Amino acid sequence: MSDDLLDPVLETARNHAKDYLDGLSTRHVGVMHGRDELLAKLRTPLTDEGEDQTAVIDLLAGQADIGMTSCSSPRYFGFVIGGTYPVALAADWLVSTWDQNAGIHAISPFAAAVEEVAAEWIVDLFDLPRESSVGFVTGGQMANFTCLAAARHSVLRRVGWDVELDGLAGAPHINIVVSAAAHVTIEVALRYLGFGSRSLLRVDSDDQGRMRAESLREMLATLVGPTIICAQAGNVNSGSFDPLREIAEIASEFGAWLHVDGAFGLWARASTELSALADGIDRADSWSADAHKWLNVPYDSGLAIVRHAADHRAAMSSSASYLIQTSGAERDSIDWVPELSRRARAIPIYATLRALGRDGVESLINRGCARARQMADTLAAEQGVQILNDVVVNQALVRFGDDDDITRAVVSGVQKEGTCWASGTTWNGQAAMRISVTNWATSHEDIARSAAAILTVYRDVHQR
């Protein structure tokens, strides 16, 4: 490729990246400009002759600078959002540079081999059955979809129905049992698979959002036929874990498939201190997790893990005469994910795991939890501030004052103030601020500064 085309634009991108990363720890964390200001610059008629590449990159960087929340900032506590480890970012740059289509082995033996090893490491790190298969998908949503497609295949196969060939019309009925506190992506994944939201059976949950095992048992006792249960490791608000050992025992007693949504909670398995929270999780049939949350690799990166590789493959595999698929030991990733063409997203996962090692991953997870407790303790020391959940992992739910409006005003005030960013939610009928500490770089000092900023906003709202 001509250096004249390549060098200036890559150099420009590198400089913008460096400026952004250098400024990350001091940047205003909230968003500064919205749609109208952004469109004013971004929306121009598409020209016939095109524009200078470097100028296009400069323009994008300028608009990004004013129109993004700094969600990779160490003081971004919204949703459940990880940052990016330097090694993960470096590997991801190369993924785009190499532009490997990781769909089939014939195109990239390298991407396939990296995936194969990353899959082994993941299963080992989470201490799941070593025969489990792993699909590298875009995120938790598609991980839930992929695992539940394998579940659908398996429970119908066991009653003599091939859903891939014959579809769902006329198929034996499947009972789909979900926790009342299930993440919305479970419902959406099931919708994609032909199970409408109204057909789901919901098991009630306790005040921390944990499925009640006894209610599950009572429900299963009333059901006949193929059954899929969706449990959870890591409630998106409270971080709580369903009683997985009990649930796994019930599932096995009733012959049901057990799926566990562990988008961030599955990472607790990498920590000796925390793994008891997920006790019994290895007895499930499938697990979903995100790498772009707690492992801190760039978007988009999720993991669909299935104990029964044959069911996983049967649900996902595709073939066409022009594709050169392997019949041997080599891995074709299209057997494990919904996509055909896709980026080699296992490479940043491989790089991060290799660079951190087991101890590094464990320290990352433990640190997030310790910082969440630090935040909860600091805020709770203030008169009128209450922590609504048991802070078991990296999530804290905070209530300010005694009515919902105060909490909502503090959430929006903090978002405007810019030292840190947190979002709001409703928890057991009450407004709450959600704090999620998922970024590898969040320091003790970041929490201290953020807590001070949050309390300043609270005192201000309180005095009004």
The residues binding ligand PLP (CB under 6 A) are: 80, 139-141, 183, 185, 234, 236, 261, 263-264, 290, 302
Q: How far is the CB of 265 from ligand PLP (least distance, A)?
A: 7
Residue 168: both structure tokens together? 């769902």
The whole-angstrom separation of Cα 346 and Cα 129 is 20
Q: How far is the CB of 435 from ligand PLP (least distance, A)?
A: 14
- Pick between residue 283 and residue 434 the one whose CB is nearest to ligand PLP: 434
Q: How far is the CB of 14 from ligand PLP (least distance, A)?
A: 28
Three-state SS for 88? helix
- Pick between residue 372 and residue 406 the one whose CB is nearest to ligand PLP: 372
- Closest CB to ligand PLP belongs to which residue? 140
Q: How far is the CB of 417 from ligand PLP (least distance, A)?
A: 26
Q: How far is the CB of 264 from ligand PLP (least distance, A)?
A: 5
Q: How far is the CB of 303 from ligand PLP (least distance, A)?
A: 10
Phi, psi dihedrals of residue 370, rounded to the nearest 5°: -65, -40
The whole-angstrom separation of Cα 192 and Cα 226 is 19
The whole-angstrom separation of Cα 424 and Cα 436 is 11
DSSP letter, residue 83: -
The answer to whether residues 176 and 200 touch, using CB atoms and an 8 Å cutoff, is yes
Rounded-to-5 percentages of helix, strand, coil across the chain: 45, 15, 40
- Pick between residue 110 and residue 299 the one whose CB is nearest to ligand PLP: 299
The answer to whether residues 115 and 280 touch, using CB atoms and an 8 Å cutoff, is no
Q: How far is the CB of 79 from ligand PLP (least distance, A)?
A: 7
Torsion of CA 362, 368, 370, 374, to 10 degrees: 170
What are the distances in angstroms from CA 274 to CA 3, 240, 278, 289, 368? 51, 12, 8, 16, 12
Three-state SS for 430? strand
The whole-angstrom separation of Cα 92 and Cα 95 is 5
Cα dihedral across residues 153, 156, 162, 167: positive or negative: negative
- Pick between residue 142 and residue 453 the one whose CB is nearest to ligand PLP: 142
The whole-angstrom separation of Cα 352 and Cα 401 is 42
Q: How far is the CB of 189 from ligand PLP (least distance, A)?
A: 9
- Pick between residue 226 and residue 234 the one whose CB is nearest to ligand PLP: 234
Q: How far is the CB of 285 from ligand PLP (least distance, A)?
A: 17
- Pick between residue 27 and residue 343 the one whose CB is nearest to ligand PLP: 343
- Pick between residue 267 and residue 336 the one whose CB is nearest to ligand PLP: 267
What are the distances in angstroms from CA 131 to CA 248, 275, 305, 309, 338? 18, 21, 10, 7, 21
- Pick between residue 303 and residue 356 the one whose CB is nearest to ligand PLP: 303
The whole-angstrom separation of Cα 300 and Cα 207 is 32
Q: How far is the CB of 343 from ligand PLP (least distance, A)?
A: 16
What are the residue ranges of helices labelled H in 76-108?
86-98
Residue 267: both structure tokens together? 């990472």
- Pick between residue 79 and residue 93 the one whose CB is nearest to ligand PLP: 79
What are the distances in angstroms from CA 167 to CA 32, 92, 163, 251? 49, 38, 5, 25
- Pick between residue 183 and residue 371 the one whose CB is nearest to ligand PLP: 183
